[in-house]
Amino acid sequence: MKLQAFQTERFFAQYEFSAKHLLSVSDCETITVENLLELANMTLADLGHLALGYTESQGNPELREAIARTYQSISAEDVLVLGSPIEGLFISFQALLDKSNEAIILTPAYDALFNLPEDLAAKAIPWELKATANDWQLDFERLESLITNKTKLIVVNFPHNPTGFLPTQIEFLKLITIARQYNLWLLCDEMYRGLEHLPDDQLPSAADLYDKAIVLSGLSKTHGLPGLRAGWLVIKDKTMFQGVLNWKLYTSICPPAPTEFLALAALKTAEKLKQKNLEIIKQNLELASPFFQQWEDLFFYRKPKAGSVALVELKQGNATEYAHQLAKEASIVLLPSPFMRFPDRFLRFGFGRTSFQEALAAYDVYLANAKKTE
Ligand SMILES: Cc1ncc(COP(=O)(O)O)c(C=O)c1O
Q: What separation in Å is there between the alpha carbon of 85 and the centre of ligand 1? A: 6
Q: Work out how many domains the chain is built from and give that number.
A: 2
Which of 269, 299, 318 is the last residue before a domain boundary? 269
Pocket lining: 84 vs ligand 1, CB cutoff 6 Å:
yes
Which of 269, 298, 321 is the last residue before a domain boundary? 269
**pLDDT per position as a tens digit, 226-278:** 999 999 999 999 999 999 999 999 999 999 999 999 999 999 999 999 999 99
Say whether both 342 and 260 belong to one domain. no
Tell me the HSE value of 348 on the side-chain side, using a 13 A CA sphere.
31
The CATH number of whichever domain residue 95 belongs to comes to 3.40.640.10
pLDDT of residue 180: 98
Q: What separation in Å is there between the alpha carbon of 121 and the centre of ligand 1? A: 21
Say whether both 135 and 194 belong to one domain. yes
Say whether both 133 and 64 belong to one domain. yes
pLDDT of residue 373: 87
Say whether both 329 and 231 belong to one domain. no
**pLDDT per position as a tens digit, 267-306:** 999 999 999 999 999 999 999 999 999 999 999 999 999 9
Q: What separation in Å is there between the alpha carbon of 161 and the centre of ligand 1? A: 9
Say whether both 72 and 98 belong to one domain. yes
Looking at residues 176-191, what average pLDDT do you find? 98
When the pLDDT of each residue in the chain is averaged and rounded to a whole number, the result is 97
Position 58 confidence tier, pLDDT thresholds 50, 70, 90: very high
Q: Using alpha carbons, select from 174, 116, 130, 121 the residue that is nearest to residue 151.
A: 121
Q: Looking at ligand 1, which atom is closest to the CA of residue 157? A: 1
Say whether both 263 and 324 belong to one domain. no
Say whether both 337 and 199 belong to one domain. no
Domain span at residue 286 reads 7-32+271-368
Among 7, 82, 84, 86, residue to substitute to test ligand 1 (most atoms within 8 Å of Cβ): 86
Q: Does residue 44 lie within any of the structural domains?
A: no
pLDDT of residue 148: 98
Say whether both 284 and 184 belong to one domain. no
Among the residue ranges 2-11, 100-109, 132-141, 294-303, the one predicted with the least confidence is 2-11
pLDDT of residue 1: 78
Q: Does residue 258 lie within any of the structural domains?
A: yes
**pLDDT per position as a tens digit, 194-235:** 999 999 999 999 999 999 999 999 999 999 999 999 999 999
Q: How far is CA 300 from CA 93, 293, 337, in A?
A: 35, 9, 14
Say whether both 203 and 289 belong to one domain. no
Q: At 233, which helix (H) or strand (E)?
A: strand 231-235
Residues 6 or more apart in contact with residue 60 via CB below 8 angstroms: 81, 255, 260, 264
Which strands, in side-by-side order, build the sheet including 231-235? 79-81, 231-235, 213-218, 185-189, 151-157, 102-107, 123-128
Q: What separation in Å is there between the alpha carbon of 364 and the centre of ligand 1? A: 29
Say whether both 297 and 162 belong to one domain. no
**pLDDT per position as a tens digit, 6-45:** 999 899 999 988 999 999 999 999 999 999 999 999 999 9
pLDDT of residue 5: 92
Q: In the chain, what percentage of residues exceed pLDDT 70?
A: 100
Q: CA 132 to CA 137: how far, in whole Å?
A: 7
The CATH number of whichever domain residue 275 belongs to comes to 3.90.1150.10
